[in-house]
Amino acid sequence: MGETPVAVVSGLRHRYGTTLALDGMAFEVRPGELYGLIGPDGAGKTTTVRALAGLLEPNEGTVRIGGGDPLDPRSGVREHLGYMPQRFGLYRDLSVDENLRFFGDLFCLDRKTFLERRDRLMTITRLAPFLARRADALSGGMYKKLALSCALLHQPDLLILDEPTNGVDPVSRGELWDLLADFTTQGMAVLVTTSYMDEAARCSRVGLASGGRLILEGRPADLVAAFGDAVLRVEPGAGASTDDVEATLAREGRAIEAVTPLGTGLRVVVRGDDADRITARLEETTATVRRMTPGFEDLYLARMASTSTGEGP
């Protein structure tokens, strides 16, 4: 993986009226890296990628791509940038091939170069048999693959995707992420925003955003390995329900980081120092408690909970 960053975001602050969307957002994306910017709605993800794409001028801070300013048309940055927003602007009444030809013309590709790149992209996305199909007749996954192909025709150094798998079936989601992994092995830098924790775990590095800034950053496996909280699977005892378990947990206050449904029971993230005490308390109610191996989603839920209570990361 290259050492010189392709993209550098420094101290971004931005407001929409009285709403603070970015509050010091800062990170870097390197060549050959799949960087995931993750966080809940309102965390500043889309505002950040719009600033990176040169579609928004932040109130404060800087964005540099390959050393250039995406807001400066003389910098040539946009020639090295691919951007796929949540709603990519394909022409639905045009065929797959016609959409690709339009974007090929937009990027000023000569015929030979366009055909070589089109054919390669159609092969790896498996859209070659559908060149004549109108865009509005494609499935959600095929539509996203076409949008991705259009964004890649000019072979950008940095590909930015904002929630690329929203509304896509699980199989197509997996295929899209396999494609992104292939692109990074060829040296392309990819920045993706996502709300799916299984996708975040597939990134080279992730930045966890909350309140318009990063509260945690690193390799997913390293972050999970350093996670100090405990994860419990709790099954209610005879005659009890998950509501009864949640009532017991509610009395434990900040010792409980997160509670989510899991089959007929609950998955509970507990502060590490309190795990044994909480386990004993639950077992007193005849609940069955079993320790689980923490995953990235547990870390995410715990950090979001601590941030919302003002305790920081």
Domains, the chain, ordered by start? 7-224 (3.40.50.300), 228-293 (3.30.70.260)
Mind listing the pLDDT tens digit for each residue in 75-109? 888 888 999 887 767 888 999 999 999 999 988 89
Concatenated DSSP letters of the chain: --SS-SEEEEEEEEEETTEEEEEEEEEEE-TT-EEEEE--TTSSHHHHHHHHTTS---SEEEEEETTB-TT-GGG-GGGGEEEE-SS----TTSBHHHHHHHHHHHTT--HHHHHHHHHHHHHHHT-GGGTTSBGGGS-HHHHHHHHHHHHHTT--SEEEEESTTTT--HHHHHHHHHHHHHHHHTT-EEEEEES-HHHHTTSSEEEEEETTEEEEEE-HHHHHHT---EEEEEE--TT--HHHHHHHHHTTGGGEEEEEEETTEEEEEE-GGGHHHHHHHHHHTT-EEEEE---HHHHHHHHHHHHHTT---
pTM: 0.85
Helices 170-185, 140-152: axis angle to 10 degrees equals: 20
Mind listing the pLDDT tens digit for each residue in 230-261? 999 999 998 889 999 999 999 999 899 999 99
166-185: b (≥16 Cβ within 10 Å) or e: eebeeebbbbbbebbeebbe
Mind listing the pLDDT tens digit for each residue in 201-227? 899 999 999 999 999 999 999 999 999
Query: What pLDDT is stored for residue 183 in this prediction?
Result: 87
Contact 117, 109 (CB under 8 A): yes
Query: What pLDDT is stored for residue 3 in this prediction?
Result: 74
pLDDT level of residue 139 (50, 70, 90 thresholds): confident
Percent with pLDDT over 90 in the chain: 64
Tell me the mean pLDDT in the region 301-306: 81
